[in-house]
Each structure stands twice: as C-alpha cells, then as structure tokens.
C-alpha cells in the first residue's frame, strides 16, 4: 500500500515538458527566451523548450508532420495570418472556458480576435499587435528647425517636414530613406487608400485601384527627392543619423531606441492616404489538439499561456504593442514603455492581413511588380496592378478548384 502511494505521488509530480514553437529569431527570440527562463524557474514542474522556425512553410510542415506522429509542439506562437492553414489541428475553447483560465476575450481588440472564433469556439489567443509606426530622428528635427515633440500626423505635415529636412540630409540620402519595393510598405499605403488584397469572399483581387494610388503617392515622394528610387537596407543609414524617417514595424523600436538614445522618436504612422488605417498583424497563441489530450499536459500548457497573458508587458519591451485593451490604455504601459504606449494609441485603426490560407502567395504575386514601378519605371502603377491582378486571379482559381475536389 505504501509503495502504491509513493508510486502515485511520483507520477503526479512528473515534470511536463512543453515544446513552444515560434517564428522568433534575433532580438525577438532573445526576449522570449528570457521570459521562458523566468517561467521555468518559477514552475519546477513544467519545462518550456523554445523551438524556432522562422519560415512559414517550414513552420506549417513541422506542425502537420508532427501531428501525424504525435510529435508536434504542444504550444504554438504564430503569425495570425498563418492559422487558417491548420486551424483544424488546434484545441478550441469556449469564451467561458477561457475565462476559467483567467483569459478574458472581451479585453482583446475586436479587430484582432476577429477570424479566431468559429462556431462559438476560440482557436487562437492574440498576445500582441505588431503594427506600423513612424520612427524619426529628433536631432534632425531640431537641425531643420522643426519641433521634435510634434511629428507629422497627415500628408500635408509630412510633406512640409520632408521639405525642411532636405536641407540637413546628406547628398545621396533622402529624408525618408526606405526600400520602396518592400511589399509590406506598399500594403500599408494601399490600406490607407482604402483597398485590401482580396474581396471579402476571397474570390477576386481588390487591390488594383488603391494599390495604384499608393504607388502614385510613393512615386511623388521620389520625384520630390523625399524617398529613394533604389532598393536599399534603410537600417544602417537611419541608425547612423543621416536619414530622419522610417515608417516601419514596431519590432524595430527597441533596437532603434538603444542605438539613437534621446534622438529616437516614435509616433503613430501619419495618415498619408485617404483613410485612417495602419497596417499590422498579430502573434497568436494556440494549442495543438492531439498533443494536449492528457489533462496534465493541457493544464501545463494553459499555465504557460496564462503566464504570457499576465506578463505581456515583458514581451512588449521587445517591440510589440498590446492585444489587450486594458494594457494599451494603462498607466503601467505609459510609465514602463512610453514609446510603445504612444504608438498603441493607433490600435483602433489597425488593419491586418485577411485570414486566407494562401494570402502570402497572393502578396508575392504583387510584390514582384513593385520594383518595375518604383525602381526601374518599366511599368505604370496601373499596368503593374492589372498584371498582378491577373496573376492573382489564376492563383485564386487554382486554389478554389482544389477545394472542390
């Protein structure tokens, strides 16, 4: 009897090892590793092991093949737009069940939880919002006679600032120094001109008119000497202080702040198009259904998820904005991460990638034509968008034909 009790006790206290698969490399991965180390130290009965697969295709393959052999990661941290491809493999929860774990779905921005609930069940929990923002050099503002505490908020102010900054920008560099053919930058401006990649039923491209307007706007910036006409890596020039503006992802903020110190400025992305929109996305937490059938493993997995939910500010220091409304508007965020708090005020206007399994292929079809407009000038914006739309229609036709089989 005593031996039986000892055996039972030892079984209950067995450490649960969780594989946590993420796409996080570089500084992002280092921040997450620190959070994992703290969790493991505080939970001797659970060990979280960080598995990093940056490429979306490799990530999907690892999950699908792992499920088949029951060797998949238990907990996933992935880009939201990737989830539709394997949502049938995920553990689902009712809103009430998540509340019992201490996770309140009502505290998540509505636009972010959208697409993650099906049939009344939640299959993904957003932890953050990665969004575009405007990074700028405060020192260059002062040199140009501009107020560093009043960054531009609209097209008129942005143009005026760029004109003033030309006088203090070195030859060969533009005040707004960015790779013009970066597809995500085009997406940001296309959204600001009222477009989207696809129609709401995912049957047709929807970017042609707004996409052409976005390209026309970027060409105008180039012709005025505000934006470069070549594909470049903007990071070194911005960090070196030669250029002043970058409209880019918030994940750059931590590195920029460390490099530029007091000269680093962060502000919401100005409204340069006709619509108040900012491009963004999210990292979402999810559980692999077949890997958490054991109640003890499920409990451990949700303990880790809840820890991330409760300690999200530690993750936002890596350069993310909150998925939770209560944190985005909190005094704690304002005091601990003032630049993240400032940028987070544009969260109600964020537009994310549509939840469509092959959206990355759609964007790739557009991306190959951006350089033809913004670098080589081989195509007009309208011709480039029409050509891209024709290619996207072929991709969609192949996809939907396959769904009927």
Domain ranges of the chain: 14-127+282-328, 131-274+356-404
What are the structure tokens assigned to 142, written together? 């002062």
What pLDDT score does 405 carry?
63
Each residue of 133-154: pLDDT tens digit?
Answer: 999 999 999 999 999 999 999 9
Among candidates 286, 281, 282, which has minimal Cα distance to 124? Answer: 286
Mean confidence (pLDDT) of the chain: 93
Residue 10 has pLDDT above 80, yes or no: no
Listed in order, strand segments (DSSP E) in 29-155 are 46-52, 75-79, 117-118, 121-122, 125-126, 128-137
Of 152 and 402, the structure prediction assigns the larger pLDDT to: 152
> How much of the chain, in percent, has pLDDT values that exceed 70?
97
What pLDDT is stored for residue 13 in this prediction? Answer: 62
Per-residue model confidence (pLDDT) at position 348:
87
The pLDDT of residue 12 is: 52
Q: CA angle, corner 228, sides to 227 and 230, nearest 5?
A: 150
Predicted confidence at residue 335, as pLDDT, reads: 95
Q: Which two tokens stand for residue 107?
A: 């505290």
pLDDT at 28: 86
The pLDDT score that the predictor gives to residue 221 is: 97
Phi-psi label, residue 70: left if phi above 0, alpha if psi -120 to 50, beta otherwise:
left
The model scores a pTM over 0.95: no
User: 10 Å Cβ neighbour count for 100?
Assistant: 10
One fold for 14-127+282-328 and 131-274+356-404: yes
Token digits for 266?
């962060």
Listed residue (186, 231, 230) closest to 208, CA to CA: 186
Average pLDDT over residues 322-327: 93
Q: How confident is the model at residue 8 (pLDDT cuts 50, 70, 90)?
A: very low
- The CATH architecture assigned to 14-127+282-328 reads 3-Layer(aba) Sandwich (3.40)
Residue 5 is predicted with a pLDDT of: 46
| pLDDT per position as a tens digit, 232-274 | 999 999 999 999 999 999 989 988 999 999 999 999 999 999 9
In CATH terms, 131-274+356-404 corresponds, of 3.40.50.720, 3.50.50.60, 3.40.50.970, 3.40.190.10, to 3.40.190.10
Q: In the predicted model, what is the mean pLDDT of residues 310-321? A: 91
User: What share of the chain has pLDDT > 90, as a percent?
Assistant: 81
pLDDT of residue 201: 95
Q: Is the confidence at residue 11, as pLDDT, over 80?
A: no
| pLDDT at residue 60 greater than cutoff 90 | no
Q: What is the pLDDT of residue 7?
A: 44
């Amino acid at each position: 009897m005593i031996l039986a009790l000892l055996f039972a006790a030892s079984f209950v206290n067995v450490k649960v090892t969780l594989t946590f698969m993420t796409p996080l490399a570089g500084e992002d991965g280092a921040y997450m590793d620190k959070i994992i180390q703290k969790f493991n130290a505080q939970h001797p009965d659970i060990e979280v092991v960080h598995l990093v697969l940056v490429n979306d295709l490799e990530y999907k393959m690892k999950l699908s093949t792992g499920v088949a052999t029951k060797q998949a990661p238990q907990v996933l941290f992935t880009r939201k737009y990737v989830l539709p491809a394997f949502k049938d493999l995920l553990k689902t929860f009712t809103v009430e069940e998540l509340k019992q774990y201490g996770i309140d779905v009502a505290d998540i921005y509505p636009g972010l939880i959208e697409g993650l609930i099906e049939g009344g069940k939640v299959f993904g929990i957003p932890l953050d919002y990665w969004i575009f923002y405007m990074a700028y050099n405060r020192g260059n503002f002062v040199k140009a006679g501009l107020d560093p505490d009043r960054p531009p908020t609209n097209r008129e102010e942005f143009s005026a600032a760029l004109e003033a900054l030309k006088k203090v920008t070195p030859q060969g560099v533009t005040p707004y120094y960015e790779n013009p053919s970066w597809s995500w930058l085009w997406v940001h401006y296309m959204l600001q001109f009222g477009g989207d990649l696809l129609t709401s039923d995912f049957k047709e491209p929807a970017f042609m008119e707004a996409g052409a307007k976005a390209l026309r706007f970027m060409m105008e910036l180039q012709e005025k000497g505000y934006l470069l006409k070549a594909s470049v890596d903007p990071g070194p020039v911005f960090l070196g202080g030669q250029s002043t503006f970058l409209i880019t992802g918030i994940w750059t903020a931590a590195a920029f702040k460390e490099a530029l110190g007091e000269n680093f400025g962060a502000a919401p992305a100005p409204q340069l198009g006709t619509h108040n929109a900012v491009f963004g996305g999210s990292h979402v937490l999810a559980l692999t259904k077949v890997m958490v059938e054991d109640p003890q493993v499920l409990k451990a997995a949700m303990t880790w998820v809840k820890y991330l939910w409760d300690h999200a500010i530690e993750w936002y220091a890596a350069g993310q904005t909150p998925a939770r409304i209560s944190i985005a508007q909190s005094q704690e965020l304002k005091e601990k991460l003032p630049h993240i708090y400032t940028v987070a005020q544009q969260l109600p206007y964020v537009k994310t990638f549509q939840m469509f399994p092959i959206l990355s292929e759609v964007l790739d079809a557009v991306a190959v034509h951006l350089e033809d407009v913004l670098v080589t000038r081989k195509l007009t914006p309208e011709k480039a968008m029409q050509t891209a739309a024709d290619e996207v229609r072929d991709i969609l036709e192949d996809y939907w034909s396959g769904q009927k089989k």
